Chains A and B, each alone.
Chain A
Amino acid sequence: MPGKLKVKIVAGRHLPVMDRASDLTDAFVEVKFGNTTFKTDVYPKSLNPQWNSEWFKFEVDDEELQDEPLQITVLDHDTYSANDAIGKVYIDIDPLLYSEAATVISGWFPIYDTIHGIRGEINVVVKVDLFNDLNRFRQSSCGVKFFCTTSIPKCYRAVVIHGFVEELVVNEDPEYQWIDRIRTPRASNEARQRLISLMSGELQRKIGLKVLEMRGNAVVGYLQCFDLEGESGLVVRAIGTACTLDKLSNTSAFLPACNSPSKEMKEIPFNEDPNPNTYSSGPSTPLKNQTYSFSPSKSYSRQSSSSDTDLSLTPKTGMGSGSAGKEGGPFKTLLRQQTQSALEQREFPFFTLTTFPPGFLVHVGGVVSARSVKLLDRIHNPDEPETRDAWWAEIRQEIKSHAKALGCHAVVGYSESTSICEEVCILSASGTAAVLNPRFLQDGTMEGCLEQRIEEASPPGCGFCHIPYDELNMPFPAHLTYCYNCRKQKVPDVLFTTIDLPVEAVVVGKGCLIQARLCRLKKKAQAEANATSISNLLPFMEYEVHTQLMNKLKLRGMNALFGLRIQITVGENMLMGLASATGVYLAALPTPGGIQIAGKTPNDGTYEQHISHMQKKINDTIAKNKELYEINPPELPEEIIGSPIPEPRQRSRLLRSQSESSDEVTELDLSHGKKDAFVLEIDDTDAMEDVHSLLTDVPPPSGFYSCNTEIMPGINNWTPEIQMFTAVRVSRLSNINPTNQTLNKNFNDLCENLLKSLYFKLRSMVPCCLCHVNFTVALPEDELVQIAVTAVAITYDKNQALQANKAPTEKSQQRASTDNEEQLQFPLELSSDPLSSQPFSPAKEALEGASSHTGIPAAQRDRCNSWIELIKLKAQTIRRGSIKTTTSLEKASPLAEGYLRHRSVPSGTNSTVSVVKMTPLSFLPGAKITKYLGIINMFFIRETTSLREEGGVSGFLHAFIAEVFAMVRAHVAALGGNAVVSYIMKQCVFMENPNKNQAQCLINVSGDAVIFVRESELEVLPVQPPAAAPQPTGSAGDVTT
């Protein structure tokens, strides 16, 4: 009996009138946990009842504590008929189960009803007494901390980053059970909410067990998702990164090194290797202490053998970079071996983190992704969710081999998602292949000696850009040059990643949000046929998305993408692709060339004129963008940079042949001398449309920047004003005979208009930046497209921004000049080879591979691996988009000095309701997070049968989203917190039936509840006492039982 849960119902307020005759309510409360229920007395004739109940005590084991939510139901007593439910509150008591989080949950909670929404509030106090449980074989994992944040939480230090944890549980969806034909919608919704709450509790507990097995004490980057598979059931799955975290004893005053041993560090023993020198002594580094057995209960025991055979079959994707054996030096080789051996212990060396401790990330290879189309099928035995497990295992295996092909042992910024339409499901996974520093990956600390050496090996500002793969054996065609920062190692011409921009990265100018948008029509089909047609479309979509991203990146004069997220959504008669990323100019990478348009029929005069007109527009746009984003890279004479390194042709495993479009490219190359350009060949109307659409992206209005990463590259002086928001739009694609072009245009307009609308709404915050802009697309019905955006607008000080921005530029300029001498060591024999510098020219071998693929549609239906594979496929039909790059020496104009504006920050408030900030970021500008109170993970259903009366679909959803925010805030406030960080709306499923005047919506949100202190307040109190939670009203003085 390891726990006692205690609940006290204090009072209610603003209850709805339940008795029309008296205009009053006779309310009482049922408190339910597991199978035990308590009731308060009836408080007669009041809309503001004061129950002031006794403490209701539930004696339960901790497994139950983790799985079950506390259910509080407010009812209206009726003597003659059944009692009417007013509404419910579900409280997740998980935050009370670990020692460092909240100690009491106390406050006003909105009383929520799935039909009526919020109906008044109830004041509740909840506590847990945990007894020490020494049972080592326990089923519970109390004490393991969970964080949604995808970086090491601010007041902790990572002792060990163990790695990937995953789990999924399945069940039948109550909504689809026979009983729901006779149950009321309310009962059905509540059954569903309760089940999901139960399943997420169970999932979290199981993940916690895995973490304990790995000797970790926390999960960071925890992402839990629901798959509503309709008749085939309900899947709740989660991934995360197991870590051993050490609480920093004082977040403000002390160095991270002086940790006070915290309570749970004692509980969870980790092997502290006392001899830091073992590491540098060679590959004999003991990893013996680690037993990374993932889910021993699971069926798949497939320990990933590093099969090099994979490589030849699936040369995987990525916009690469890397280091090479040639110039890496002995240390690097050692490092590589270390990491390799450390990571090979793991089945999946994946990390859901997107930001890392300094020195963790050694090299980045590029984006790896895998998708697979599956047919859903009833889950027969919920206790053995093997099919779904196997599906994901397959995809992860693929990701792993892609990473290996890029010369990487790990995948960072890893995430998984699904898109379901009827019985077809697309499973997607993506991440960034990377080489990691082993020091964080195993027990024991060996900082001192290693840190220095790593810095020698790779300069902090550019090291991550250096290619990890073998230059002589490149997994895909890439164009390499010597790093523009250190000049010692090679870098690719562009770099795509799913992670946040590393803090140490040297960037030029500011970043910006880049989106690629795409629609593809698909015939309506059933089952297998449908899955096949979807798998056939996927490669083309990915290719197009990628081409768009590349074009838009060039158009902005930038050379790297961070936070890349590609979402492919499946609907009845179309597929939609939406990729979002933050473009940036990395100082280490070469200046991107321009975009060159080439026409097919050069003799036609008017056509030529048209082409040159387009070319001018593109050139103007690039020039304008460079000015807008302040892209002013230090000027380097071409001789110093040297020509591009010739790519070894025949030696690489992937043979590269002359592309079919090579003739034109050669011609163009001649006409442009050494300057390279990205060639867009216009050979049909399609391509014309593409060029047009390239130019339709309107830059944000002055004073606005936007990005989808945590921080905006180039801005670092945030002021504390933030505004988190969610916007949802559903649009009808009204074309009678839609074509891909019209759909693309519609979709593009929809996204652009939505962004425009956001800028207008937030105009009072200028100068500001929209950060973590997160778009999700759904196709709820035949012609409907739903787009949901969550982001945060943060104000910044324009004056300081300009000053701070100059520093890196100056620094890199300086570096460039000092490096001149060194640079001369690299002989100019590395002359350029225009043909080999086409990252996406279809290779002969690829073509062969593709044709062999077409013979086996089953394989295609099931998987669409990566860009490389799809490029192979694409090569058969698509001729345009062949590409060529060299250095362009165009210079943007100097910084545009904007006018200055100072904004006063609203001061603290003394409103009755405490203010709770919400943000999708892991931090609050100008504030210090002093305590993490626990994870918030909430799922709500709202339904109406009086849609018109509630203001139509917009009125209905507006109210619901506001209600969800309110419930999140109330829970955070009750935990004693004043903010939610890493907030995310994972799902927003909206369905309507206007003919029946009905609508239903499901929303799933999560985040980390925290206490933050303003930095200005910290300065006043130099020694911050261990974060004391502000006692919520109502709990004061009522602590004893």
Chain B
Amino acid sequence: MSSDLDVFVGNTTLIDEEVYRLWLDGHSVAEAVARRLRGGVLEREGTSVAVLQSDTRDHYRTFQMLERLLHAPPRLLQQLLFQIPPERQALLVQRYYAFDEALARELLGKKLSKGTKKELDEFDNFKRVFKAVEELRGPLAENIQQLFLLPPPLARDYAAIVFFANSRFETGKRRLQFLSFGDFAACAQSMMGHWSQGALAPEAAEPDGDLPKSFLQDLKELKVLVSDKDLLDQHKSLVCSALRGKISVYNELEANFKALSRALVNVGGKLTHARDVRDFFVDLVEKVIEPCRSDKWSLGDLRLFLTHYTAAPRNLPGFRHQALWERYMAAITACLLRMYHD
């Protein structure tokens, strides 16, 4: 006797967290049943494999019906088909949009709008979120949070993914492999936080995912700090005199100051060209992090240096871009400090 049809429908939709996870992980019903069996549910509940199969199928069907709604979480809240308590709804959404950081790390900076034919739900989620907020104004993370009802940390991670996809930063180079998804997400957050229009004016005209053109254009003005020899020398002496005795790598700093400064300023100057934007993180690593690391700078040394390096131009005669400079350096500092590890 075989059951052709077998359904269970509760007035309150039953959600089994374990089965949901198995479903999200892409297991078939048979695999899910096998895993549940291994979990010892039979012994615990004194039930049969047939019951477990029937139960798993019911949950899978429910999830399949819910999936359409999970693609637009606010609809999950408004829909009438499934009566699900709010805390369960939140759990469903949160788990559905949770992703594997290793995978996200791999995809960072790749185009999300098309291509990349990986059959992965997570990738579909990235694409969906990307598509939904692409054209929206205002703070990216907040938009995502509103449209997908994600908890703030998860929304910020998605914002980072969208930001990287928009700017197409190179993250796959070998010398960048030591950086985790978390490092990049933190950098993206700092960059959006300090550089985007939304950061300055909430009614900004451009989406947060793109860095404002005018700002990037303005960054060219900062080149004077390295192109004008006097300014460069004065900048160096201000920083060096402030750091003398306070930093363990003083000699190295003195020797490398000009190279470091050039690297730090030029990274910004190149951001107007899409091609050069890609190299942002490569440049930071190659020209700042690696030299410092080989000179055995400590994180404290770097922090102290960057603080004084950012503050000093205030006292440079004829330098009129201190506000712009500080806005620029705030994000750069945050990125470098986050990235400065092995």
Contact = CB atoms under 8 A, between A and B. Distances in A.
A1030 interface: no
Interface in B5-64: 5-14, 45-48, 50-52, 54-55, 57-58, 61-62, 64
Interface residue tally of chain A, by bracket? 35 or more
B46 A734 contact: no
Contacts of A382: none
Contacts of A959: 65
B82 interface: yes
Nearest to B69: A14
Interface of A is mostly: mixed
A30 B152 CA distance: 44
A962 B65 contact: yes
A917 B1 contact: no
B120 interface: no
A970 B80 contact: yes
Contacts of B78: 13-14, 121, 912-913
Question: Which of A14, A951, A957, A962 has its CB near the most chain B CB atoms (within 10 A)?
Answer: A962
B281 to A, nearest CB: 38
A962 B1 contact: no
A726 B9 contact: yes
A915 B83 contact: yes
Contact of B57 (A734, A911, A954, A961): A954
B80 A729 contact: no
A750 interface: yes
A726 B12 CA distance: 11
Contact of B85 (A909, A951, A955): A909
A958 B51 contact: no
Contacts of B85: 906, 909, 911, 915
A536 to B, nearest CB: 27
B3 interface: yes
Contacts of B52: 760
B77 interface: yes
Contact of B80 (A749, A761, A913, A958): A913
Contact of B2 (A110, A731, A763): A731
A990 B7 CA distance: 13
Nearest to B82: A962
Contacts of A962: 9, 13, 65, 81-82
A732 B3 CA distance: 7
Contact of A734 (B2, B14, B48, B79): B2
A118 B10 CA distance: 18
A296 B54 CA distance: 54
Interface in A908-950: 909-913, 915-918
Contacts of B46: 701
A608 to B, nearest CB: 34
Contacts of B11: 723-725, 917-918, 965, 969
A966 B5 contact: no
A756 B81 contact: no
B59 to A, nearest CB: 9
Contacts of A108: 80
Interface string A896-911: 0000000000100111
A829 B290 CA distance: 111
Given A760-B55, A912-B78, A969-B80, A728 B50 contact: no
Contact of B81 (A13, A110, A730, A763): A110
Contacts of A915: 83, 85
B123 to A, nearest CB: 23
B75 A730 contact: no
Contact of A118 (B2, B5, B81): B81
Contacts of B228: none
Interface in A133-151: none
A725 B61 contact: no
Contacts of A909: 85-86
A251 B51 CA distance: 44
A1032 to B, nearest CB: 13
Given A913-B78, A969-B80, A727 B8 contact: yes
A285 interface: no
B51 A757 contact: yes
Question: Which of B3, B6, B7 has its CB near the most chain A CB atoms (within 10 A)?
Answer: B7
Given A730-B5, A732-B1, A734-B2, A969 B83 contact: yes
Contacts of B57: 954
Nearest to B8: A727
Contacts of A759: 47
Interface string A1-30: 000000000000110000000000000000
A965 B9 contact: yes
A761 B4 contact: no
B81 A951 contact: no
Contacts of A786: 5
A963 interface: yes
B64 A911 contact: no
Contacts of B143: none
A784 interface: yes
A746 interface: yes
A121 B80 contact: yes
B261 interface: no
Given A118-B80, A753-B50, A756-B51, A955 B61 contact: yes
Contacts of B64: 951, 955
A963 B79 CA distance: 11
A953 interface: yes
Contact of B61 (A756, A917, A954, A969): A954
Contacts of A760: 45, 47, 51-52, 55
A723 B12 contact: yes
A110 B80 CA distance: 7
A729 B45 contact: no
A953 B9 contact: no
Question: Which of A730, A746, A758 has its CB near the most chain B CB atoms (within 10 A)?
Answer: A730
Contacts of A687: none
B7 A961 contact: yes
Contacts of B75: 14
Contacts of B51: 753, 756-757, 760
B1 A990 contact: no
B145 interface: no
A733 interface: yes
Nearest to A951: B61
B120 to A, nearest CB: 23
Contacts of A966: 80-83
B190 interface: no
B89 interface: yes
A916 B83 contact: yes
A13 B51 CA distance: 39
A958 B61 CA distance: 8
A917 B85 CA distance: 12
Interface string A684-728: 000000000000000001000000000000000000000111111
Contact of B8 (A731, A757, A911): A757
Contacts of A911: 77, 85-86, 89
A965 B79 CA distance: 13
A315 to B, nearest CB: 40
Contact of A725 (B10, B45, B50, B89): B10
Contacts of B6: 728-730, 954
Contacts of B47: 701, 756, 759-760
13 contacts: A723-B12, A730-B3, A756-B47, A756-B48, A757-B55, A760-B47, A763-B45, A911-B85, A913-B77, A913-B79, A913-B80, A915-B83, A954-B6
Given A734-B1, A965-B83, 16 more contacts: A13-B78, A701-B46, A728-B7, A729-B5, A732-B1, A753-B48, A756-B51, A759-B47, A910-B86, A911-B85, A916-B83, A954-B6, A954-B61, A958-B7, A958-B62, A990-B5
Interface of A: 13-14, 108, 110, 118, 121, 701, 723-734, 746, 749-750, 753, 756-761, 763, 784, 786, 906, 909-913, 915-918, 951, 953-955, 957-959, 961-963, 965-966, 969-970, 990
Interface pairs A-B: 5 shortest CB-CB: A730-B5, A961-B9, A725-B10, A953-B5, A958-B7
